[in-house]
Amino acid sequence: MRAEEVKCPAVWIGGVEKSYGRVTALSGLDLAIFPGETVALLGPNGAGKSTTIDLLLGLSRPDAGEVRVLGEAPAEMVAAGRVGGMLQTGQLIRHLRVRELVSMVASLYPRPRPVDEVLELTATASIAGRDTTKLSGGQTQRVRLALGLVGDPDLLVLDEPTAALDVEGRRELWAVLRAVSSSGTTVLFATHYLEEADEHADRVVLLAAGRVVADGTPNEVRGVVGGRRIRANLPGVDSDELAGLAGVAAVERRGDAVVLSCTGSDAALRLLLARYPTACDIEVTAARLEEAFVELTGAGAGAAGDPGARR
C-alpha cells in the first residue's frame, strides 16, 4: 500500500486555520491521506474533527491554509460525485421507500453505482421496500451510508458514523465499511471510540485543540507513550539488572512478578528468556490506545510536542 504514496493524495490539508467567532477550531492543521488508506480521525469533543470533515466536504472554507481533495477544491469534487459523505446527524426524508430514496440520490450523480449493487453492499437490500421512517437506528445509518456511496466516490468521509448505534448496529456498519475500504475506496472517519480506531483503521490521526498531535498506525500511536509491556513471574531477580536489558525502559516489581515497560519488546523478551530460564507466566501486552489518547490530548497538546510516529 505504501508504494501508492507517490500518487496524488486523496486528502491534502496544509496549515489550515479555522475559527468560529472567538472559538478556534483548527490551528495549523496539516494532514495528507493517500489513496486506499482507512484513517481514523480521533480526538475529544472540540478537537476539530467535525470542522475538518466540513472542510473536506466543501461545507465550509478555511480562514487560512489550503484544503485539496483528490487534488482539487473539495466543493468541486463533491459536485463531481468523487467524494461521498455521511454527516453526524440527519434523518431520512419521509414519503419514500428505501430503494426510491437511494434511486433519487443516485439520479443526481454523473456516474452513479447501480442502486441494487449499493443496496447489496450496505446490507439494505432486504429493507429496500420499507418506508424510510420505519427503520431501526442501524438500518437508517446503513441507508445513509448507501446515499454516501451511490455516487461511487473515491473518498468516503464519515463523521462519527456509529455514534448513536447499539453494539449490533455498530458491528453491521463496520462490516459494510470494511467491504467498502477493501474495494479500494479511501475512507476517513471521525470517531471518539478508541476501539473503533484501533480495530478498523490502518492509520490513526489524533487531534487535540485543532492540531495533529499524533499520526501513525494504531501501534505507532500507542508507541508514542509507551510501547509494549512484558509481565513475568521472576522471583529474586534484581530490578536494576532487568532495567539493563536492551529494549527495556522501566521496571516495576509487583511481588514475585515484574513488569517491564519496553521500547523494543521483541529484543527484551529474547534476552529475558535467554538469561532467566525460570521466568514464567509471561504476558506481552500493548499499551492501550486510550493511554496514548489521554496523555496526548488530556495532558495538553504542548506536552505531546512533535511525536516521532508522525510521518
Partner 1 sequence: MTNSSTYLRYEALRTARNWPFLVLSLAFPLILLLVVGGSHRHTHLDGISFPLYYMVGMASWGAMGAVVATGARISAERQGGWTRQLRLTPLSVRSYLTAKVVTGYLVALLGLAVIYLAGAGLGVHLPATGWLLMTGLILVGLVPFALAGVALGHLLRPEVLGPAIGGLTSLLALAGGAWGPLLTGSLAGIAKALPSYWLVQASVAGLDRRVWGVEGWGVMAAWTLVLVPVAVAAYRRDTARV
Among 68, 113, 142, 144, binds partner 1 (CB under 8 A): 144
CB of 304 to partner 1, least distance (A): 28
Q: Which is nearer to partner 1, 46 or 264 (CB)?
A: 46
Q: Report CA-CA distances (Å) from 172 to 136, 177, 243.
A: 12, 9, 46
Q: Are 17 and 55 in contact (CB under 8 A)?
A: no
Among 32, 80, 135, 237, binds partner 1 (CB under 8 A): 80
CB of 70 to partner 1, least distance (A): 15
Q: For partner 1, what does the binding mask look like between residues 10 and 39, x meaning CB under 8 A?
A: ----------xx------------------
Q: For partner 1, what does the binding mask look like between residues 40 and 79, x meaning CB under 8 A?
A: --------------x--xxxx-----------------xx
- For residues 155-174, one letter each, b for 16 or more C-beta atoms within 10 angstroms of the residue's C-beta and e for the rest, the string is bbbbbbbbeebeeebbebbb
Q: How far apart are CA 283 and CA 185, in angstroms?
A: 37
Q: Are 276 and 245 in contact (CB under 8 A)?
A: no
**Three-class HEC string of 78-122:** HHCCCEEEECCCCCCCCCCEHHHHHHHHHCCCCCCCCHHHHHHHC
85 forms part of the interface with partner 1 (CB under 8 A): yes
164 forms part of the interface with partner 1 (CB under 8 A): no
Contact positions vs partner 1 (CB under 8 A): 20-21, 54, 57-60, 78-81, 83-85, 87, 89-96, 100-101, 103-105, 107-110, 144, 147-148, 151
